[in-house]
Structure 1
């Protein structure tokens, strides 16, 4: 094993450690600041936390678009969203029962289903045009307006949240910086290892890069759930998936029209089915149970066994 490979492995371990430290700081500061302004944990997860944890996807996808590597850009979005549902939410549900409000079901779960449907539609012809990119961005802007206009302050989270502290704003920014930088380091080291193994651009984007850029979502969601902030966990995943399709892919397409392979369309179809499965699970009792979490995690193993997307 050469020095470059050993260096990449070491960087991978360091990045994961820094990621968890940053995630813990970011979640606690975000929740306390939100409570100060009367904002629910779910709304925080759908907006602030989702944007923060999706920055690695945005950086990688835009960079790939600028470099003319459409397959990597599209693969990152599709793969990240699959990973967020199957692995992030699945593992979180295995740790603890996840409850959601009726407002989340009627507004946010349906919004994710709609965005995933749009993803399938724009990838149907094997490309994402600039016009389609602008359309995706416009849909997200509309969603945020609706979210803030009809935000529901009711949550299932603990009411004994620590009061805002003096350096919360600094912790918020510092934690976010650590999450984003560590996520990028993780991606860089993972891509180096994948290329050493001779893996193609789309496969790198849909697997190694997708897992790497989604690790912030996993870190933030698990930390949030362990600390009793289930709304942040669910909101983070739903918000990240919305942002990945509507903003990350939309912005990348406006910069440079993207080309998508048949494998990308297959992956989008799998994502649509997985999102529908999540919606059904949440609608049955407004919660995600351990068995349902296990089903989501197991779906990822099935996907790779079938070689689907």
Structure 2
């Protein structure tokens, strides 16, 4: 950690670094949104592709960075926790805030519901299957009972599925009749702005992960829990900003497409890339699957709301926020051991 070599490694400093890093993530996400929007318009991409691929991949860069840094630091469970926690935040909170921010309600369409949402459900299932295969075929003899090694060949499975997703999006682009491109913007400048935003986000996330890791060691916070709360909330900031701004501009398709496309990228690309970089990582199936189960329930809830009249009303938005509140309560109960008390352990 760059800052750690200059400032003392104490809790107050780590908290300050987390706050400052989150601010820079917010700054980088603003640049990213602006440049991605102009580039998508210049190249004539459909709104759903703009949201689910271009903007989604860019705004998912913090999650991808967190996985890479945690994998290199040997704390991969923290990275997986960040991905899953961010995905739950994206599915429940961001559509809710986008719906509340829009003019009355957030409109969607059948493409979002039947292609993006359903493919995302497949992505969640594919990741669970990949983790299960790691436990079955590459168990960890000296680790927890349900621990397995996620190897590079297994990591290729979700990547291949994402390749199918890109192919489907490419078909949409080939069938789309784009409007005439505007020459009022400098393409080279926008590409430079996009690159600068990714660099800012990359450095900020590296500092964020290092500070959270230090705090987790200081206070004995489990790696997965630290990832699913602190890192997940901070790295979800670009997705939230992009989607809420799109909703305010009456671009509901782009807003929801960013959420679903970002989550699909996180699950099928971000986690596998971390594995490909370090070779293999240990996955605790008993810890990861309950969180993925919550993510599945959250996805089903969002799918049901989207399919109802193809829009998100204010009432439905508050339902999503309430569901996230229940998730936070469950996380806190797990942290203080209340769930073990209920089980009689």
Of 157, 178, 185, the residue aligned with 1:165 is 185
User: What's 2:88 paired with?
Assistant: 82
TM-score, normalization by structure 1: 0.86
1:51-87: CA deviation from partner (whole Å, max 9, x where unpaired): 2222222222123233433322322222121111122
For residue 3 of structure 1, report the CA deviation from its aligned partner.
Answer: 8.0
| Pair 1:94–1:280, CA change in 2 (3 A) | same
- The alpha-carbon distance between structure 1 residues 110 and 82, as it changes in their structure 2 partners (threshold 3 A), is same
Cross-structure match for 2:106: 98
Partner residue in 1 for 2:70: 64
Task: Deviation per CA, 1:251-297: give whole Å up to 9, x if none.
Answer: 23343143124121100111011111111111111122222221222
Q: Using the alignment, how far apart are the partners of 1:299 and 1:73 within structure 2?
A: 23
Query: Out of 251, 268, 279, which is 2:303 matched to?
Result: 279
Q: State which drifts further: 97-106 or 122-131.
A: 122-131
- Conserved? CA contact 1:22–1:175, under 8 Å: yes
CA displacement, residues 218-261 of structure 1 (integer Å, 9 cap, x when unaligned): 22222333344333321221111111111112223343143124
The equivalent residue for 2:265 is: 243
Number of residues of Structure 1 aligned to a counterpart in Structure 2:
305
CA contact (8 A) 2:51 2:257 kept: yes
Q: Which residue of 1 aligns with 2:125?
A: 117
- 1:111 CA displacement: 0.6
1:265 aligned onto 2:289? yes
For residues 1-309 of structure 1, the aligned pairs below 5 Å read: 4-96=10-102, 97-124=105-132, 125=135, 126=146, 127=148, 128-151=150-173, 153=176, 164-166=184-186, 167-254=189-276, 255-307=279-331
1:34–1:44 CA contact under 8 A, matched in 2: yes
- Cα RMSD between the aligned structures? 2.8
* Structure 1 position 199, deviation (Å): 0.6
Partner secondary structure for residue 150 of structure 1: helix
Work out the CA distance in 1 between the residues paired with 2:310 and 2:185: 33
| 1:21 Cα deviation after fit | 3.0
* 8 Å contact from structure 2 (residues 26, 237) kept in 1: no
Do the aligned partners of 1:191 and 1:208 also contact (CA within 8 Å) in 2?
A: no
- TM-score normalised according to structure 2 size: 0.78
Asked whether the 8 Å contact 2:99–2:106 carries over to 1, the reply is yes
8 Å CA contact 1:70, 1:260 repeated in 2: no
CA gap of 1:250–1:276, structure 2 versus 1, over 3 A, is: same
Q: For the structure 1 residues 30 and 101, does the alpha-carbon distance in structure 2 shift closer, same or farther, using more than 3 Å as the test? A: same
- Which has more radius of gyration? 2
Note if contact 2:213-2:223 (Cα within 8 Å) is conserved in structure 1: no
The change in CA–CA distance for 1:187 and 1:63 in structure 2 (over 3 A counts) is closer
Note closer, same or farther for the CA distance 1:84–1:67 as it changes in structure 2 (3 Å cut): same
By how many angstroms is 1:153 displaced?
A: 4.8
Task: Check conservation: 2:42, 2:182, Cα contact below 8 A.
Answer: no
**What is the CA-CA distance between 1:191 and the residue it aligns to?**
4.0
190 and 86 in structure 1: CA distance in 2 versus 1, 3 angstrom threshold? farther
